[in-house]
């Protein structure tokens, strides 16, 4: 039998089995309310939305647009909120493009656990994509390799955060 290196994460079993205990019913609502027990990095916040860094990013620059009002599905947003939500997504793509210069961007929603949603609060993922992404650990060991921490990511975004301040009616 060949020797192999293993990365053990036995603490994940409770999550996989759905037994993980949490005192926080909604992580995004806790962030919105300023819960000090939640580690987060808010890049931008207005009266309707926040743009936060994904603390376990798929790639450097992976951020999420989150409505401040707790909603779980798109149909819970009014038409005006829906337009503003996707406008903020569009502006956030411009922010990520300016700060990280990706060659592509994924914009995605996971609605419902069967679709991959791990948080029952609507949010829009903005994931920059690059031609030489790391993928070996993900492919062979089901392990993420984080090449940039949240503070460095925020520092790259910060000079461009003004891009998020346009309202949906100020289309340019």
- Can you give the pLDDT at residue 139? 46
Orientation angle between helical segments 150-157 and 79-100, nearest 10 degrees: 100
Which residue, among 88, 77, 60, has the nearest Cα to 168 in the 3D structure?
Answer: 88
C-alpha dihedral sign at 11, 12, 17, 19: positive
CATH code of 40-165, in short, is 3.30.428.10
Residue among 11, 123, 160, 162 flagged as catalytic: 123
Q: What is the pTM assigned to this prediction?
A: 0.75
Q: What is the dihedral of CA 118, 90, 127, 35, to 10 degrees?
A: -50
Q: Where are the domains of the chain?
A: 40-165
- Can you give the pLDDT at residue 85? 97
- Can you give the pLDDT at residue 22? 60
- Can you give the pLDDT at residue 138? 56
Start-to-end C-alpha separation, the chain: 62
pLDDT in tens, 33-75: 999 988 899 999 999 999 999 988 888 899 999 999 999 999 9
- Can you give the pLDDT at residue 53? 96
- Can you give the pLDDT at residue 1? 47
123 catalytic? Reply is yes
pLDDT in tens, 137-158: 554 455 666 778 888 888 999 9
């Amino acid at each position: 039998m060949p020797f192999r290196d293993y990365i053990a994460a036995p603490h994940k079993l409770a999550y996989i089995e759905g037994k993980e205990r949490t005192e926080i019913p909604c992580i995004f609502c806790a962030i919105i309310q300023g819960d000090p027990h939640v580690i987060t990095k808010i890049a931008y916040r207005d009266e309707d939305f926040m743009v936060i860094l994904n603390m376990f990013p798929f790639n450097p620059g992976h951020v999420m647009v989150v409505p401040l009002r707790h909603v779980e599905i798109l149909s819970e947003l009014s038409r005006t909120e829906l337009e503003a939500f996707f406008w903020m997504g569009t502006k956030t793509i411009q922010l990520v493009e300016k700060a990280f210069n990706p060659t592509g961007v994924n914009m995605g929603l996971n609605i419902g656990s069967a679709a991959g949603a791990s948080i029952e609060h609507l949010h829009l993922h903005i994931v920059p994509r690059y031609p030489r992404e790391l993928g070996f650990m993900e492919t062979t060991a089901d392990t993420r390799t984080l090449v940039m921490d949240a503070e460095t990511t925020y520092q790259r975004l910060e000079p461009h955060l003004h891009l998020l301040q346009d309202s949906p009616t100020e289309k340019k």
